[in-house]
Structure 1
Amino acid sequence: MSERGAQESKARRRLAEQLAAQKAAEAKRRRQAWVGAGAGLAVVAILVGVFVAVGQGGDDDSADQAAGTPAATADPANPADPANPAAPPAPQLPEGADPALGTKPTVTGGEGDLTELKVTPLIEGTGPEVKSGQNITTNYVGVFYKDGKEFDSSWERGEPATFGIGVGQVIPGWDQGLVGVKVGSRVQLDLPAELAYGNDASGGRPAGPLRFVVDVLAAQ
């Protein structure tokens, strides 16, 4: 082979090698582009999945809240309803009692001078008579006899008062005025000062003649 032919053969080989190198580099670039695109799609897919999961979680939380937290609505027939916490619960009345015992009475002052105990039945109960030595459960309102200003009420505390009767646990006017009263009764007790707390107002006690309206709910 001549020297010229040998040079042409070398040139063709170099060209072929250059073309092969270019094709290999182009193929590598395509592979890298596909890998990059695939990774990008994977990231997008992951982000979409996260957003969907978060959105579904929020919806679930809302649904749980809607299902587990009912709206608070006041029930006028149930004064002890949590939506109406200021109202005291209705008292437990004895069987067959007048429904009026479920409502706090309006108590006004008296007239004239009060010199002795007066017991005035307002509602006649049908239960057994209260006996000395029993524990009785009552609702009551206490006012000053002269002006009718209220100074005490079990109704405002939301629960009846239970105590021994006829044994000195309460003021003398109660010990004397409630023995013999039938369970289920509402009575008005007008007490002169000496059968109540006396005329001394020290210590925050109500002084002078007093008037109580007492509901006898139980005796045992």
Structure 2
Amino acid sequence: MSERTQQTGPDQSPATKSGRRLAAQLAEKKAADRRRKINAGLSSLAALAVAATLIGVFVWIGGGGDDKPKNQADATPSASAPAPDEAGAPPAPQLPEGADPALGTKPTVTPGTGDLKKLAVTPLIKGTGPAVQKGQNITTNYVGVFFKDGKEFDSSWERGQPATFPIGVGQVIPGWDQGLVGVTVGSRVQLDIPGELAYGNDDAAAGGRPTGPLRFVVDVLAAQ
């Protein structure tokens, strides 16, 4: 063996050095690939965590907490009927423009005195709207009581919905047909109606309806 061969040695040969460099490059490439995979995995986990957080926020906002009613429709009133007030009383009616605010409150109706022989129409609030004409449909709030003792037997206020009907054409009792034609919209009137212009004086013939003289307080809210 020559001196040059002894100095170089088997580990110092050019082929061996090239092989080690290649192995080192392959190892570095594998390490870089592992780092990229690890980083990609961490990025995916981070994205999932962000998405989960956002979903949780949206669910919380949409749910509104445990105090929100399970059925939103149950908590929202219907659009066709006004909501009652906090005390549970029927809502105030829609009043005509310029009407006295008193028409938004149910009137107190007292009994009459003496013997009622004929129809009496007493204005309580004078409206500024047009006069009711025969054949029109009118919208009213009303309270009906027995003339003699003031006991209430009917009221649109308790139903929370004004009544609409044609006037002057025999669709209501004669006392209303005669007493409300000519009344201006926005008015509140008291109608004292003898039995013969109401439901009669015979309990059997009335079919369960109130008999004898009656008193109504009527608010005329619209006519068309």
- For Structure 1 versus Structure 2, the TM-score category normalised by the shorter chain is 0.5 to 0.7
Q: Identity of aligned pairs, percent? A: 74
CA distance in 1, matches of 2:118, 2:158: 28
Q: Matches of residues 145-164 of structure 1 in structure 2 within 5 Å?
A: 145-164=147-166
Q: Separation in 2 of the partners of 1:64 and 1:99?
A: 41
Distance (whole Å) between structure 1 residues aligned to residue 164 and residue 119 of structure 2: 22
Residue of structure 2 equivalent to 1:136: 138
User: What is residue 213 of structure 1 aligned with on the other side?
Assistant: 217
Tell me how far apart the structure 2 counterparts of residues 69 and 82 of structure 1 sit (CA, whole Å): 21
C-alpha distance in structure 1 between counterparts of 2:219 and 2:84, whole Å: 26
- Distance in 2, matches of 1:82 and 1:67, equals 25
Q: Which residue of 2 aligns with 1:65?
A: 63
Unmatched 5+ residue regions in structure 2?
1-51, 76-80
TM-score w.r.t. length of structure 2: 0.64
1:31-42 to 2 correspondences below 5 Å: none
Distance 1:64 1:128 in 2: 50
Summarize deviations over 1:24-58 as a string: whole Å, max 9, x none: xxxxxxxxxxxxxxxxxxxxxxxxxxxxx8xx998
SS at match of 1:204: coil
In structure 2, what is the Cα distance between the partners aligned to 1:188 and 1:219? 18
CA distance in 1, matches of 2:84, 2:112: 38
> Alignment length, in residue pairs?
165
Structure 1 or 2, whichever has the larger Rg, is: 1
Aligned CA RMSD, in angstroms, stands at: 3.2
Change (3 A) 1:168 1:90: same
Q: 2:186 aligns with which of 180, 184, 208?
A: 184
